[in-house]
Copies of this chain bind each other. A is one copy, B any other.
Amino acid sequence: MRKWFECVPNVSEGRRPEVIREIQNAIQSVKGIKLLDVESDSDHNRSVFTFAGPKEPVKEAVYQLVDIAIRRIDLREHKGEHPRIGAVDVIPFVPLWDATVEEAIVLAKEVGEHLANTYSLPIYFYEDAASAPHRRNLSDIRQGEFEGLAEKMKKPEWKPDAGPEEPHPTAGATVVGARFFLIAYNIYLGTTDVSIARKIARAIRASDGGFAYVKALGFEIKQRNLVQVSMNLVDYRRSPMHRVFELVRLEAERYGVPIVSSEIVGLVPLDAIVAAADHFLRLENFSKKQILDFQLLKNE
């Protein structure tokens, strides 16, 4: 059993390289942590750190990040295009390998309580860690931003889940949560008729009766004379990529339109790739343990 968690904290600092570097160094100094990505945007004045590891190192890395952010960031002076309510705006935890969403929820709550107690920082739990349905969506929690937070917190439905009932003077509040790994997946269709992409998006997405863990929209890709079904696969184990591909192919066939290609944006778990190969090759009794690279790279 290898229980790892990915953590993707969003920090309200995208302009001072020395602060971003300080956070990056702190994360990398935690033994057992793999820093996967750091993205900073000065217009947004925001940085996103992606790292992963076992539970305890992930906690330690988050605590180090929060400690630096709270010391170095003053939201009263913060300007940027991206909405935010906290110096550390949001901390999502994603279960990897043998870890479950339930364990990510426990991790999110432990981290949230610890931060609330240590820094007198108000905490909201969101997504799968939400304490009520109206708190699931990040954008609803963030509505009003740091500047409107003190007023918002006075409403009973926006009382924080942990910590004081007023914003931290310089660090606002932090949204902490758990969700499953998301695959950003696009399929390109050989037509210029965007209505076909939109019809297919409706056919396959949860909100219109399609796959339960698929969000989808149809777009025109003018420079390529194609249309795109743009998707978020929010649980690739239960609504797998290859099944989504096959249904889009069948639906497109009904309009006489072929799939030209598909595209995975960003990272994808090996499981999802293996499941696709397994499906199309009709493999029997195939195990990830048979993958040579996996045997060679595992640090056991």
User: A residues within 8 Å of B by Cβ?
Assistant: 4, 6, 34, 36, 52, 96-97, 181, 188, 241-242, 245, 259-264, 266-271, 273-274, 276-277, 279-286, 290-299
Contact = CB atoms under 8 A, between A and B. Distances in A.
B282 A262 contact: yes
Copies of this chain, how many?
2
Contact of A277 (B36, B273, B284): B273
Q: Would you call the interface of chain A mostly helix, strand, loop, or mixed? A: mixed
Nearest to A185: B281
Contacts of A286: 263-264
Contact of A241 (B188, B269, B281): B281
Contacts of A245: 280-281
Contact of A297 (B241, B267, B271, B299): B299
B268 A52 contact: no
Given A52-B296, A294-B293, A283 B267 contact: no
Contacts of A261: 282-284
Contact of A270 (B36, B96, B294): B294
A292 B276 contact: no
A34 B294 CA distance: 11
A96 B263 contact: no
A279 B280 CA distance: 10
Contacts of A96: 292, 296
Nearest to A53: B296
Contacts of A263: 283-286
A267 B281 contact: no
A4 B292 CA distance: 12
Contacts of A295: 34, 36, 267
